[in-house]
């Protein structure tokens, strides 16, 4: 399992951070994703704010991982130390999801319209 699995290592967002996360997700789309090998046994950060940070001063990133059991997982992190945000871990099972499915799943977690920005590839 990826690091950060212990509850004490999870980030719990305050209202301002949650609002900033929703803004990040509204802008997030597969056209900015770095998906070279998104599903490996090493944690990959396929999407993130890079040099752009939110009003909170903390960047958000989407991480992916394929476990030894073959399950595909993704989550959202906050801050330079990439601390996993509580409640964002998604297990897609053994069938590899598309990047659009990953983005949409995280958008749905926070009530963000899955059509923001306009989907660029396979699925809304």
Q: How far is C-alpha 5 from the chain's CA centre?
A: 15
pLDDT for position 3: 46
Predicted confidence (pLDDT) at residue 94 exceeds the cutoff of 90: yes
pLDDT at residue 5, rounded to an integer: 44
pLDDT at 22 over 50: yes
Q: Taking residues 71-93, what's their average pLDDT?
A: 93
Both tokens of 14, joined, read 């305050």
- pLDDT above 70: residue 60: yes
Task: Name the more confident of 28 and 43.
Answer: 43
pLDDT band at 26 (very low <50, low <70, confident <90, very high): confident
Residue pointed to by tokens 């509204």: 26
Give the span between the Cα atoms of 91 and 88, in whole angstroms: 10
């Amino acid at each position: 399992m990826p690091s950060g699995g212990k509850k004490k290592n999870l980030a719990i967002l305050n209202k301002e951070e949650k609002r900033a996360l929703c803004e990040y997700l509204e802008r997030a789309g597969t056209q900015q994703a770095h998906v070279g090998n998104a599903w490996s046994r090493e944690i990959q950060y396929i999407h993130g704010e890079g040099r752009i940070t939110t009003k909170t001063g903390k960047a958000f990133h989407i991480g992916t991982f394929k476990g030894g059991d073959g399950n595909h997982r993704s989550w959202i992190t906050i801050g330079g130390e990439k601390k996993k945000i509580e409640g964002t871990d998604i297990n897609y099972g053994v069938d590899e999801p598309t990047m659009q499915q990953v983005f949409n799943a995280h958008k749905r977690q926070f009530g963000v319209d899955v059509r923001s920005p306009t989907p660029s590839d396979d699925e809304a």
